[in-house]
Structure 1
Amino acid sequence: MTTVVGLSARYANFLVHPLLPGSGVCQTCCGPAKTGYPTCWPCHETGRILGTGVADTVVPVSLALKGEQYANELWRYKNTAGPQQQYFRTGLAAVLWRFLALHEACIAKHCAVPGFDVITTVPSTSGRADHPLHTMVATMVGVTRDRHRDLLRPTPAAAALGRGASSARYASSVLWGENVLLIDDTWTTGNHARSAATALKAAGAGSVAVVILGRHLNVGYGDTATHVEQARLRRFSWDVCPLRAWAHG
């Protein structure tokens, strides 16, 4: 019988733990930041635009490096068809399931809440009618499907906003203090995920944590190669806490 552990096992060969926030590492997205600055430039600008009503924490499952296997699969699960599409979607669903089963409680503790009442996804603004991430979270992943709700929708203004951050990009159903786990597949600038978190907070959410399947990085850009070399020094293990430099006991 196929299991979540079995389906996700091969990913340990190419997943890369993000570096923990600190000198040279963005305290928001765990990407490269200039020494002496708390965040990278995109996160700084997004925070300036959106203000204080953004996510309480952002937790990438892994780096997704341009031209490498994981980034390739995160593209293929949306852009292939037939058996190949199902293969990648099943694999990534297993990755998310295993990661949350091990680490969701730690993420909630980091946000100083007992748990997440609702789980939702960042909707597409590109016109994709049935986003595969929605399908995975709502129906495939056992630890999310019973708490999933369709909370977010693009506003009529979303198409004209390009890829920038804006509090006008999404609208959310009304919330009454529920803590929300917001899931997205990829993060390059984080503008969509943080705009979505802002909409959730504006609608009455309590804590909002964002889990990202892949933090996209291009090793050919600036000092990113050095950042990635440092990240690779820690061999990937499913048990390693995404918020601390040790495994869960």
Structure 2
Amino acid sequence: MIPADLQLIRAVVRERVGGFFCNTYVPGTAGVCVVCRGPAAEQDLCNICQGHRATFGNQLADRTILLTYALGNYPDGPHQSAHVVRAYKGYKGTHPVRQCQQDLELMVSVAVGLHGGCLDNTPTGSWDSLTFVPSLERPGRSHPVTSLANAALAGDPIAVMAGRTPQGSLEKFLLEPGPGANVKRRMVPDRYRVPDMWRSAVAGKNVLIVDDTWTTGASAQGAAVAVKQAGASSATVLCVDRWLRCDWSDHQALINSLSGSYDALRCPMHGRMCLPGTGFTVITD
């Protein structure tokens, strides 16, 4: 029987985002890329992720965590999933929409809070440090993705919904754009770099990198390459959504196979409720 506190969390998240988000397929699902959760025909990796691995090898992320899919190029106008992941940070000159930001923060907070035992599980130990994928247009702390990174520290979705600042023990650091930052949607070895002042937060550490949307993976994996080049023991990428295009036949086939609304109790790595989640505490004051 599912404990009452977990039923409450499931209901809250489903009410907020279940109408337009669903869970990603877990790694190992036939026809789904184990890295980006996009379509991969009969292979473990899609063609793009295969290319990344062939070129960058163990400099890439050791683990990728993706929570949901966003449906782009929808034939009847923007799908709500695509709207939310764009509107949370502002899109084409529009102001960021706080409600969309809170919805994504909630998803990240709950995923880490409920499934941390599976997500924070690298061969070299638990996460030590936290950063996010920076934007060339809005570098540093000014980009709304910082709120998603902070949500990864929270472990209490009620606090996130109430606007209380998450607290955590991970050491935060910033990446900065490198010489290859202007290259679009293609992996380069110097998209980002770790500034000298943050090297101690990276060298020998297990690093968690948070991003909002995975399209080709060039940004998220570029961040992983940067921390590996700076001596990180491991790099984990937590990305809220995998962008799918409704006008691409292989993407459309994957979209057609999706069913059900987003279930916060389903582990992004294993597709089941994680045992550590049974001790999750809901604070309602």
**What TM-score do you get using the length of structure 2 for normalisation?**
0.76
Amino acid at match of 2:185: R
Distance in 2 between residues matched to 1:50 and 1:180, nearest whole Å? 18
Q: Give the superposition deviation at 1:104.
A: 2.3
| 1:215 alignment counterpart | 242
Q: Is the 8 A contact 2:109 2:151 kept in 1?
A: no
| Residue from 253, 259, 264 that aligns with 1:238 | 264
- 1:200 correspondence with 2:227: yes
Q: Secondary structure at the match of 1:239?
A: coil
Matched residue, 2:135: 124
Amino acid aligned to 1:180: V
1:223 Cα offset (Å):
2.3
1:26 aligns with 2:37: no
Structure 2 residue 177 is matched with structure 1 residue 154: yes
Deviation at 1:113? 4.5
- 1:47-84, Cα deviation, whole Å (9 max, x unpaired): 22322211011111111112321221110011142xx6
Structure 2 letter corresponding to 1:125: L
Runs of 4+ deviating beyond 6 Å: none
Match of 1:166 in 2: 188
1:245 & 1:93 partners in 2: Cα distance?
A: 21
3-state SS of 1:90 partner: helix
TM-score, scaled to structure 1: 0.86
> Residue 49 of structure 1 corresponds to which residue in structure 2?
55
Structure 2 residue 116 is the aligned partner of structure 1 residue 104: yes
Q: Is the 8 A contact 2:66 2:238 kept in 1?
A: yes
Q: Distance in 1 between matches of 2:252 and 2:226?
A: 34
The alpha carbon displacement at 1:235 in A equals: 4.6
Cα drift, residue 162 of structure 1: 2.9
Q: Structure 2: which 5+ residue stretches go unaligned?
A: 1-7, 73-77, 156-165, 276-285
Aligned length: 240
Q: Distance in 1 between matches of 2:139 and 2:79?
A: 25
Query: Cα deviation per residue 1:90-137 (whole Å; 9 max; x = unaligned)?
Result: 22212211111112220123x334421111101112345611011442
The 3-state SS of whatever aligns with 1:13 is coil
TM-superposed CA distance for 1:215, in Å, is 0.4
- Preserved contact between residue 12 and residue 238 of structure 1 (Cα < 8 Å): no
Task: Give the unaligned 5+ runs of structure 1.
Answer: none
> How well do the aligned residues superpose, as a CA RMSD in angstroms?
2.4
CA apart distance, 1:140: 9.1
